[in-house]
C-alpha cells in the first residue's frame, strides 16, 4: 500500500476525515494478484505526478440556490475537463456535502448520477465523517462501474440530480466534488471542483437564503485555482484516503475537503 503523502500547503489546510468502509454484499476476498498482474490492470497515471496543476479541472454548475425538503430532485452537473495529452481512466468523483448546522445525515441525501455507458441513473451512497461531512463516491455501488474516462484535452459532463428527505434539517449546505483516479488499493487525487452553496428549507417560500453558487463562468478557465495544493497527485492509503475506491466488490469511502480561510 502506498504511503500517505500530502503536499506542503495541503498539510496546513486539508482536513482529512475518513469514514468507515462499508461492504455492499462483497464477495469472498481472493488471493492478492501478483504485482505484475496489477501493473497490467492498473490504468496509466493521470497527468504528471510532479506537476503543480491538477490534470482534471472539475466544475459544478446548473444547480438551484435552494431545495425544498421532501421535494422533487433538482438537476445540475459535474464537468470533468482533462488538460493533459493523454486520457485519464478510472476517475471516480467523490461528493462532499456539509451543512452549517452539522446535522445533515447520509440517509437524508438523495443524489444520483447518470452513467451514459449503461444508459441509467446510479445512486450515490453517503457516509458521515467525524467532522459531520457527508461523503459519497459516484460509483453506484456497482462493481461493474469502471469510473469515468476523460479523453485527452476533452471534457466529460456528468448529469446529477439531488433531493433531500422530508426530515432533512433546514439551513445552508455546501457541496464540492473531488476527482480521484482509482489505482488498485490506492487512489490519486486528480482534481477538485469549486464550491456549490445552496439552502435546504421547508415549504415553498420558506427556504432560507444561501450564498449564491459559483456560475459556470467563474469556474471556467481556472485550473490555477486548483494549483495551490502543490503536488497534485499524492497517493492515499485506504482508511486515511481522500478518495473513495471499489476494491474486491467493497465500497470503500473516505473523504477530504480543503478548508478555506
In this predicted structure, what is the pLDDT of residue 47? 83
pTM over 0.75, yes/no: no
Q: Spelled out in words, what is the top-level CATH class assigned to the domain 8-24+50-258?
A: mainly beta
C-alpha–C-alpha distance, residues 80 and 153, integer Å: 10
The tally of CA atoms less than 13 A away on the side-chain side of residue 132 is 9
User: Which are the contacts of 82, defined by CB distance < 8 A and separation ≥ 6?
Assistant: 46, 55, 56, 88, 150, 151, 152, 153, 154, 155
In this predicted structure, what is the pLDDT of residue 200? 98
In this predicted structure, what is the pLDDT of residue 132? 94
Q: State the DSSP H helix or E strand holding residue 99, giving kind and residue range, or none if neither.
A: strand 88-99
pLDDT averaged over 10-residue windows placed end to end, the chain, 261 residues: 34 31 32 43 76 90 98 98 94 96 98 94 94 90 86 97 98 96 80 95 57 37 32 34 32 33 33
Do residues 176 and 96 touch, judged by C-beta distance below 8 A? yes
Amino acid at each position: 500500500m502506498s504511503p500517505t503523502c500530502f503536499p506542503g500547503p495541503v498539510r496546513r489546510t486539508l482536513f482529512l476525515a475518513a469514514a468507515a468502509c462499508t461492504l455492499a454484499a462483497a464477495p469472498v476476498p481472493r488471493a492478492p494478484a501478483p504485482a505484475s498482474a496489477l501493473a497490467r490492470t492498473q490504468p496509466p497515471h493521470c497527468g504528471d505526478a510532479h506537476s503543480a496543476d491538477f490534470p482534471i479541472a472539475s466544475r459544478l454548475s446548473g444547480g438551484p440556490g435552494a431545495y425544498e425538503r421532501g421535494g422533487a430532485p433538482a438537476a445540475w452537473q459535474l464537468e470533468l475537463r482533462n488538460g493533459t495529452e493523454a486520457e485519464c481512466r478510472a476517475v471516480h468523483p467523490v461528493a462532499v456535502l456539509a451543512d452549517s448546522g452539522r446535522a445533515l445525515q447520509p440517509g437524508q441525501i438523495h443524489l444520483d448520477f447518470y452513467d451514459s455507458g449503461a444508459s441509467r441513473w446510479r445512486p450515490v451512497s453517503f457516509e458521515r465523517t467525524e467532522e459531520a461531512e457527508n461523503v459519497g463516491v459516484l460509483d453506484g455501488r456497482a462493481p461493474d462501474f469502471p469510473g469515468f474516462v476523460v479523453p485527452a484535452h476533452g471534457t466529460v459532463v456528468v448529469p446529477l440530480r439531488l433531493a433531500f428527505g422530508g426530515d432533512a434539517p433546514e439551513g445552508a449546505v455546501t457541496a464540492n466534488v473531488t476527482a480521484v483516479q482509482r489505482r488498485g488499493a490506492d487512489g490519486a487525487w486528480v482534481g477538485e471542483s469549486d464550491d456549490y452553496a445552496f439552502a435546504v428549507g421547508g415549504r415553498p417560500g420558506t427556504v432560507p437564503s444561501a450564498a449564491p453558487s459559483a456560475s459556470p463562468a467563474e469556474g471556467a478557465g481556472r485550473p490555477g485555482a486548483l494549483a495551490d495544493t502543490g503536488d497534485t497527485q499524492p497517493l492515499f492509503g485506504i482508511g486515511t484516503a481522500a478518495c473513495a475506491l471499489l476494491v474486491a466488490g467493497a465500497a470503500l469511502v473516505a473523504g477530504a475537503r480543503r478548508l478555506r480561510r
